[in-house]
A and B are shown apart, each in its own frame.
Chain A
Amino acid sequence: EVQLVESGGGLVKPGGSLRLSCTDSGLTFSSHTMNWVRQAPGKGLEWVSSISSSSGSIYYADSVKGRFTISRDNAKNSLYLQMNSLRAEDTAVYYCAREFDSRSRFDYWGQGVLVTVSS
């Protein structure tokens, strides 16, 4: 059974950094592309970043390019998002989501973790 659990959220000042983690309790983590999707309070979903199973392909939304870094450790069934130079507009619930197969649907989602950027 796939279960994605995010951690690492919290309150951070503008310009600060935070590292999110997502751990998969299932057995197939290393076979799937993983994504981060965020949702600002009261707003819709925004795709943030994706990383292929081997980390060979990595993509970012323009809104976070150059500030956020996605990575994974397949030995630990874990996905990460290093967030630097945080801005107020980065305040959101961040979800990790598993991609079923290439360029397709996100079939499993974590419960989300709240990141608040405020002074």
Chain B
Amino acid sequence: ELVLTQSPGTLSLSPGEKATLSCRASQSVSSSYLVWYQQKPGQAPRLLIYRASSRAAGIPDRFSGGGSGTDFTLTISRVEPEDFAVYYCQQYSSSPPGYTFGQGTKLEIK
């Protein structure tokens, strides 16, 4: 069974700083199915990055994704006030068929 482990659990930064969020898979996965979401309190998740590194429509270019195999990263080049939220990675698994989410990384204001 695929497990996604996100780190750190909480990241405290000031606006303007660079954020680096990690998502580690328990087994090698296809980057084609690695996705990142942002969720703010009381809201549904919002698609940020798909296929590990492609930005979704309307997502600012300060957000970027990368990685392969078991290690993936979401980077925010300069954190804006509206970026403070929880970020989840997601991966499709074929055995058994379904989706796995990481436990989330909370980006908070320092």
Task: List residues of A whose CB falls within 8 A of some B CB.
Answer: 35, 37, 44-47, 50, 57, 59-62, 95, 100, 103-107, 109-112
Contacts and interface: CB of A to CB of B under 8 A. Distances in A.
A103 B33 contact: yes
B50 interface: yes
B33 A104 contact: yes
B25 interface: no
B44 A103 contact: no
Interface in B35-54: 35, 37, 39, 44-47, 50-51
Interface of B: 32-33, 35, 37, 39, 44-47, 50-51, 56, 88, 90, 92, 94, 96-104
- The 6 residue pairs across chains A and B that have the minimum distance between CB atoms: A109-B44, A47-B99, A105-B50, A45-B101, A103-B92, A59-B97
A44 B99 contact: no
Contacts of A35: 99
Contacts of B37: 45, 106
Scoring B92, B94, B103, B104 by chain A CB atoms within 10 A of each residue's CB, the highest score goes to B92
B91 to A, nearest CB: 10
A46 B104 CA distance: 11
A62 B76 CA distance: 34
A58 to B, nearest CB: 10
Given A104-B33, A105-B56, A44 B47 contact: no
Contacts of B35: 104-106
A61 B88 contact: no
A18 to B, nearest CB: 20
Contact of A61 (B50, B90, B98): B98
Nearest to B97: A59
Nearest to B1: A62
A72 B88 CA distance: 27
Contact of B98 (A59, A100, A111, A112): A59
B98 A47 contact: yes
Contact of A44 (B50, B92, B97, B102): B102
